[in-house]
Amino acid sequence: MKEVFYEESVEMRNQKSAKPKFMIFTVCGVASAVFAVFSFFNTIFFAQGLAGILISLVITVLMAASAIFLMTKRHGFYLSYDYTFVTDELRISKVLHDRKRKHLYSVSTDRIIQIGRLGSDSYEKLKKSPDVKEDILTPNIEAGEDKEFYYIFASTNVGKRLLILECRLQLIANIIRFMNRNVLETEFNRKQ
């Protein structure tokens, strides 16, 4: 069979809402770091008694932890996803602020149980199933131009997952071309 490589990215369309959140987290993170340093020097030079030293150390640790948390999580507001299909495997990665790439799933075609459109009857049934966890792998609420929301119900390494993707029909067509069985939901080709 012929080798296939298809890659698609989903960018965050509303980046205006992410900028204020990014700035707030940055300012608060820097302020927490400065306060942690100030509290540390206060502990060294001015704290008296065991209670004073313990209180200053607790404040120092809390401020340092909040600075690390805020500075790490601030990049999560600029979020995008990459879907890569290579011959027999769909690879899904999360990209944070165009800097850090985190691999989330590698799903081979033999582990895909069903593919369909979001909002269909079969999607609603799968979503209500107690042993299935839904994982939304798009930063957008509404689908972009010439893209739609699809679900891929698959058995992954961490259990059965309902993976929600925002992609073109071409990605779904490439996946189905390498399947040995029909995995499309029955109402896939019906107009909604």
Asked, for residue 37, whether it belongs to a domain, the answer is: yes
Residue 50 maps to a domain: yes
Please provide residue 163's backbone torsions phi and psi, each rounded to the nearest 5 degrees. Answer: -90, 120
pLDDT per residue over 113-171, tens digit each?
A: 999 998 888 899 999 999 999 999 998 888 888 899 999 999 988 889 999 999 999 99
- pLDDT at position 164: 94
What local confidence, expressed as pLDDT, does residue 48 receive? 80
**Long-range pairs, 61-64, Cβ under 8 A, ≥24:** 63/32, 63/33, 63/35, 63/36, 63/39, 64/32, 64/33, 64/36
Domain-located, residue 98 = no
Quick check: is 192 in a domain?
A: no
Return the pLDDT at 192: 53
Q: Alpha-carbon distance 151 to 9, whole Å?
A: 16
- Identify the band that residue 190 occupies on the pLDDT scale cut at 50, 70 and 90: low
Q: Residue 71's beta-bridge partner residues?
A: none
Residue 154 lies in a domain: no
Q: What angle do the packed helices 49-73 and 18-45 form, to 10 degrees?
A: 160
Number of compact structural domains in the chain: 1
Cα first-last separation, the chain: 34
Give the global pTM: 0.76
Specify the higher pLDDT residue, 1 or 133. 133
3-state secondary structure of 41: helix
What is the residue range of 60's domain?
18-76
- List the beta strands (DSSP E) in the chain: 5-10, 79-86, 89-96, 100-108, 112-117, 133-136, 148-156, 159-167
> In DSSP terms, which residues pair with 8 in a beta bridge?
83
Binned at pLDDT 50, 70 and 90, residue 1 comes out as low
